[in-house]
Structure 1
Amino acid sequence: MPLTPEQEAEIAALRETSRPTLRPVAEGMERHLHLVHPVLDHGFVRVVDYMGDDSSIVQAARVSYGRGTKSVQNDEGLIRYLIRHWHSTPFEMCEIKLHVKLPVFVARQWIRHRTASVNEYSARYSILDREFYIPAREALAAQSAVNNQGRGETLGDDEAARVLDWLREDATQTYDHYEAMISQEGQQGLARELARMNLPMNVYTQWYWKTNLHNLFNFIRLRADAHAQYEIRVYADVLGAVVKDWVPFAWQAFEDFRMGGLSLSAKGVEVLKRRLAGEVVTQETSGMSKGEWREFEGVWGV
């Protein structure tokens, strides 16, 4: 069950309540407020609160830069200018607070984005639910032969079946022992803060995560990338859809210049100029390392 009955009742009450406000309101985000977006087998993302919209970014930029923005004809143009030139502060004027349910191993990746306020479900005080992430058959893959931190070919049927059986058996057994260790029926029972150490990394946790739009863009840029681990990428994809409805001008600029754009080194710019001038440039004459040249050719090779 993604939500407890108590959480469902709280959400229903919140969605039925309407209050007048003088704050900027993003109609697209209003539709997401308290709506549960399922992720993986037991996870979810829910928007708890937000502050600001596209106009908040523009307002902050015009206060900061004043007459320097007079040449920009409209709000969308200004936002694209800010993204294009790597300005960050105006995007910090928008904030979002999320309720996220996710496997512990995904949470440990996620928490590396330290530019947020986080309050996680505490297994010192509460008992974790018997919920584990068990990958879908097609998500099981061997280690990549070329990438030390990535996946390669999908496992064959027999190998996948064996792995799935182990994952289910191990998760069930460790939770049985966890439950037995903290039991109060006829035994003293181990403290919850100690019993939790026996749980596997695929058990689910929950947290509230609050961050600003600038840092959220950084999260999405890294975690929605095709090279990111699938289990965190699906969360980033959901957040991208939410942000698109929240700040459509900012999202479009972010897609164009960050997700769909490319960064070139000074050597890369020089090689392109030489090629446009008709020169044949090789890795040996480019001044680039083999790794740099391989990535450059992957995009610009002819």
Structure 2
Amino acid sequence: MPITPDQQAEIDAQRGESRQTLRATVPGMEAHLYKAHEVLDHGFVRVIDYMGDDSAIVQAARVSYGRGTKAVQNDAGLIRYLMRHWHSTPFEMCEIKLHVKLPVFVARQWIRHRTANVNEYSARYSILDREFYIPAPDQLAAQSKQNNQGRGAVLEGEEAERVLRLLREDSTRAYDHYEEMLSQDGQQGLARELARMNLPANVYTQWYWKVDLHNLFHFLRLRADAHAQYEIRVYAEALCEVVADWVPLAYAAFEDYRMGGVQLSARGLDCLRRMLRGEEVNQDSSGMSAGEWREFKAIIDG
């Protein structure tokens, strides 16, 4: 259960407060504030604060006063131009602060995006909860034979049951020993900063993560992609829903040019032009490696 009754009561109290402000607000985003969007078995994503909206992007691009005089249609066109031509600074005018609860091994992937401000729950000062990520049966898969980073066929039958049993038993045993080492009942008890090293990578941690929209889009482009690991992709997908309500014009442009678009190398573009002229092109005549050609064909053939 990601949220306890006490935590939900605290969230309800936060959402029940209202303050007058002159800053830009977005109704769709206000509906997300403080609310916990559940992810995986014990995780969640919460919006703690945000700054800016679609108008802040075009305002920065035009360096205009206030809301400006341009029509919404023109704002959408400008945002699409900025996205199309890889402008970044106007999108950096919007920021979001999130509270995320996630397994440690997901956090280790997430932290590689170094363009954010992060403050993580400290197991040096506090004791981590007895909460572990245990995959759903349909997420238990063998190693892919084509991709060293990917998954293959889903495990079935006795093998799947054995893996789930081992995950649960090992997680429980490690946490039992963690508590045993920390205990001061009849002993001094090991320091928390040392005892934590015995915990598995599927234990849950929490952090506050603050990032601007430009770098958030970069995160989403990589982590909401179908090829991203499932356990981080579901967090990215939850964030996509939030961002679509926050900056709908910018998110629509992002979906079109980044998520739905493709990037070709100079060789790939040359091959595409040759194909459009009616020329038969294969890997040997493309100048591409086998991997490059496979990816190029996947783009062309859909």
User: Which TM bucket (shorter chain)?
Assistant: over 0.9
Cα deviation for residue 197 of structure 1 reads 0.5
Q: Hey, what's the Cα distance between the residues in 2 that align with 1:301 and 1:30?
A: 42
**1:63-78 correspondence runs (5 A):** 63=63, 74-78=74-78
Whole-angstrom distance in 1 between the partners of 2:93 and 2:220? 18
Partner of 1:40 in structure 2?
A: 40
The CA distance in 2 between the partners of 1:278 and 1:177, in whole Å, is 68
- 1:27 is aligned to 27
**CA-atom RMSD in angstroms:** 1.7
Q: Separation in 1 of the partners of 2:192 and 2:122? A: 10
Residue 184 (structure 1) shift: 1.4
1:284 CA displacement: 1.7
Tell me, which stretches of 5 or more residues in structure 2 are unaligned?
65-69
For residues 261 and 122 of structure 1, the distance between their equivalents in structure 2, rounded to whole angstroms, comes to: 40
Letter in 2 for 1:26: V
User: What secondary structure is seen at the aligned counterpart in 1 of 2:34?
Assistant: coil
- Worse overlay, 19-28 or 264-273: 264-273
How many Å separate the matches in 1 of 2:243 and 2:266?
Answer: 33
Between 1:2-11 and 1:279-288, the stretch displaced more is 2-11
Q: Which residue in 2 is equivalent to 1:263? A: 263
What are the Cα deviations for residues 31-69 of structure 1, in whole angstroms up to 9, with x where unaligned? 0000110000000000000000000001001119xxxxx
Partner of 2:180: 180
**What do the CA deviations read for 1:165-197 (whole angstroms, capped 9, x no partner)?**
111111111101100111111211000000000
Look up the match of 1:151: 151
Aligned counterpart, 2:126: 126
After superposition, the C-alpha distances for 1:125-159 in whole angstroms (9 at most, x for unaligned) are 00000000111111100000101111000001111
Q: How far did residue 243 of structure 1 move?
A: 0.3
Report the equivalent of 2:93.
93
- Per-residue CA deviation, residues 88-128 of structure 1 (Å, 9 max, x unaligned), is 11000000000000000000000000100000000000000
Q: Look up the match of 1:289.
A: 289
TM-score for both structures, normalised by structure 1? 0.95
Runs of 4+ displaced beyond 6 Å: none
Gaps of 5+ in 1: 65-69
Aligned equivalents of 2:286 and 2:136: distance in 1?
Answer: 45
State how 1:106-117 maps to structure 2 within 5 Å: 106-117=106-117
**Deviation of residue 9 (structure 1)?**
3.5
**1:73 offset after TM fit, Å?**
6.1
Q: May I ask how many residue pairs the two structures share in their alignment?
A: 297
Q: Counterparts of 1:244-255 in structure 2 under 5 Å?
A: 244-255=244-255
Kept in 1: contact 2:262–2:299 (CA 8 A): no
Q: How far 1:6 moved relative to its partner?
A: 5.0
AA at the equivalent of 1:244: A
Secondary structure at 1:74 match in 2: helix
Q: Which amino acid aligns with 2:269?
A: V
TM-score by length of 2: 0.95
Could you tell me how far apart the structure 2 residues matched to 1:12 and 1:223 are? 30
